[in-house]
Amino acid sequence: MAAPLSHQPDSQAAISNATFEFSDQGELLKLLSASTFPAEPTAPASPLRNRALGYLDPEISSFVESLLVESEEKLKLKYTDSGYMALVIHLTLSIRRLMAGEKIQMDADYLEELSLLPEFRVAQAMAKKIGDRFQITVPREEVGFITMHLSSARVWPQSRQNRGQVKIVSARQVVLTIVERVEAELHLPFHTCTRMIEELTSHMDSMISRLSMNIHLDNSQVEEIQKNYPDIYAAVERACSVFREQLKIEDVSASEITFVTMHFVAAAETMRVEQKRIAVAVVCPSGMGASRMLAANLMRSFHNIEVRQILSAFSMDPERLRSDGIDLVISTVPLSLDFPHICVSPIPQAQDLLLITQTVERLCEGREKLSLPLQPRPRGSKVLTVAELELLTRTGEEILQILRHFTWRKPGTLQRTEELLGEAAGMFADSLLTRRIISADLASRETIASTYLPEMKIHLLHCRTSAIEHCRFGFLKLSQPINTAAGPLEGAVLLLSPQSGGSECVEVISQISMHLAEEERFLQALLSGDTVGAKALAQQALVKYFEQTMKRIGDGTV
Asked whether the predicted pLDDT for residue 68 surpasses 70, the reply is yes
Distance CA 533, CA 364 (A): 43
Asked if 384 and 549 touch (Cβ cutoff 8 Å), the reply is no
State the average pLDDT over residues 510-527: 86
User: Does 295 share its domain with 258?
Assistant: no
Least confident interval from 12-26, 161-175, 191-205, 415-429? 12-26
Identify the sign of the CA torsion 383, 389, 392, 397: positive
- Please report, for the domain that includes residue 305, its CATH number: 3.40.50
Asked whether the predicted pLDDT for residue 364 surpasses 80, the reply is no
Asked if 19 and 89 touch (Cβ cutoff 8 Å), the reply is yes
State the average pLDDT over residues 342-360: 85
State the average pLDDT over residues 138-158: 71
State the average pLDDT over residues 231-255: 84
CA distances from 317 to 174, 314, 320, 426 (A): 48, 9, 5, 36
Percent with pLDDT over 90 in the chain: 16
Listed ranges 53-57, 423-427, 551-555; the one with the highest mean pLDDT: 423-427
Domain membership of residue 532 (yes or no) is: yes
User: Does 181 share its domain with 134?
Assistant: no
Domain final residue pick, 274, 293, 308: 274
Domain membership of residue 162 (yes or no) is: no
Strand partners, 329: 281, 341
Domain membership of residue 2 (yes or no) is: no
For the chain, the domain total comes to 4
Distance CA 59, CA 36 (A): 9
* 3-state class (DSSP) for residue 386: helix
What's the pLDDT at 53? 41
CB atoms within 10 A of CB 78: 14
pLDDT digits (tens, 9 = 90+) for 392-412: 889 999 999 999 999 999 988
- Please report, for the domain that includes residue 80, its CATH number: 1.10.1790.10
Using pLDDT thresholds of 50, 70 and 90, give the confidence band for residue 7.
very low
Distance CA 555, CA 273 (A): 22
Distance CA 79, CA 486 (A): 63
Phi, psi of 75, deg, nearest 5: -90, -10
- Domain extent, residue 467, equals 386-555
Least confident interval from 40-44, 251-255, 485-489? 40-44
Domain final residue pick, 221, 242, 274: 274
User: Does 239 share its domain with 290?
Assistant: no
User: Does 460 share its domain with 532?
Assistant: yes
SS3 labels along 260-297: HHHHHHHHHHHHHHHHCCEEEEEEECCCCCHHHHHHHH
Average pLDDT score, the chain? 77
User: Does 284 share its domain with 408?
Assistant: no
pLDDT digits (tens, 9 = 90+) for 74-131: 766 666 555 677 677 778 878 887 888 777 777 777 788 778 877 788 889 889 999 9
pTM, rounded to two decimals: 0.44
User: Does 458 share its domain with 528?
Assistant: yes
Amino acid at the residue 52:
A
User: Does 186 share its domain with 308?
Assistant: no
DSSP string, 104-126: ----HHHHHHHTTSHHHHHHHHH
Domain membership of residue 207 (yes or no) is: no
Higher pLDDT: 33 or 351? It is: 351
User: Does 395 share its domain with 495?
Assistant: yes
Using pLDDT thresholds of 50, 70 and 90, give the confidence band for residue 437.
very high
User: Does 265 share its domain with 281?
Assistant: no
What's the pLDDT at 24? 42
Asked whether the predicted pLDDT for residue 164 surpasses 50, the reply is no
Asked, as a colleague might, if the bond just before 373 is cis with ω within 30 of 0, I would say yes
User: Does 76 share its domain with 51?
Assistant: yes
What's the pLDDT at 403? 93
pLDDT digits (tens, 9 = 90+) for 382-391: 567 888 888 8
Identify the sign of the CA torsion 33, 34, 40, 44: positive
What's the pLDDT at 428? 92
Distance CA 68, CA 91 (A): 10
